[in-house]
Amino acid sequence: MLLTPDYIFKSIECISPDFLREKGITALVLDVDNTLTGDFSQTLEPSVQKWLDTMRGAGISLTIVSNNTAERVRPFAEKVGLDFVPLAAKPLPPGLMVARRRLGVPRRRMAMVGDQIFTDRLAAGLYGIPCLYTMPRGGDHQKGVQFKRKFEPFWIARYYQKGGRLYE
């Protein structure tokens, strides 16, 4: 049960304060590439800025954990005013451990938000927190990611077979 998504959102903007309140989640660990923006993009879409403002307004703590380099993540993290962990090696747990310390919450209050089953979903599962899986915002540039994508539909189909719904 480490790979089937817990929840699937059409995009990060579809995660609402009400949903988080209902689940007792007060802190989110955010992926960057294809979650907050496009793969390797520095563009901050107005809808994402609005979502970040909504989350802050609702008292949700936020931080970034990315497998990408500091060079790629820092400009975007600065733009949105968030701390970040680069080169996190998700699905391994150290990035989430650092994030939890920064967020200052117990694990049961945290969730991982990301677009990849074999990094974000698996990292959350191994660390024992839910993953709010978001559908990728666009294409992938890295060969390794493109390869892993081929195996995602199986796990996404399982979510729907088990009665999961798309939050949009």
Sites of contact with Mg ion (CB under 5 A): 31, 33-34, 115
21 or 141, CB closer to Mg ion? 141
> Of 83, 159, 95, which is closest to residue 123 (Cα–Cα)?
95
Please give the Cα distance from 79 to 81 (Å, whole number). Answer: 6
Please give the Cα distance from 113 to 95 (Å, whole number). Answer: 13
DSSP 3-state assignment of 8? strand
- Dihedral in degrees, nearest 10, Cα atoms 98, 121, 127, 96: 0
Please give the Cα distance from 91 to 82 (Å, whole number). Answer: 21
115 or 159, CB closer to Mg ion? 115
Task: Give me the least distance between CB of 106 and Mg ion, in Å please.
Answer: 25
| Size of the chain in residues | 168
Task: Give me the least distance between CB of 1 and Mg ion, in Å please.
Answer: 21
109 or 137, CB closer to Mg ion? 137
Task: Give me the least distance between CB of 152 and Mg ion, in Å please.
Answer: 12
Task: Give me the least distance between CB of 4 and Mg ion, in Å please.
Answer: 18
Please give the Cα distance from 133 to 121 (Å, whole number). Answer: 7
8 or 18, CB closer to Mg ion? 8
Please give the Cα distance from 47 to 51 (Å, whole number). Answer: 6
Q: Which residue is nearest to Mg ion (CB)?
A: 33
Question: Which helix or strand (DSSP H or E) is residue 144 part of?
Answer: helix 143-149
Task: Give me the least distance between CB of 15 and Mg ion, in Å please.
Answer: 15
47 or 106, CB closer to Mg ion? 47
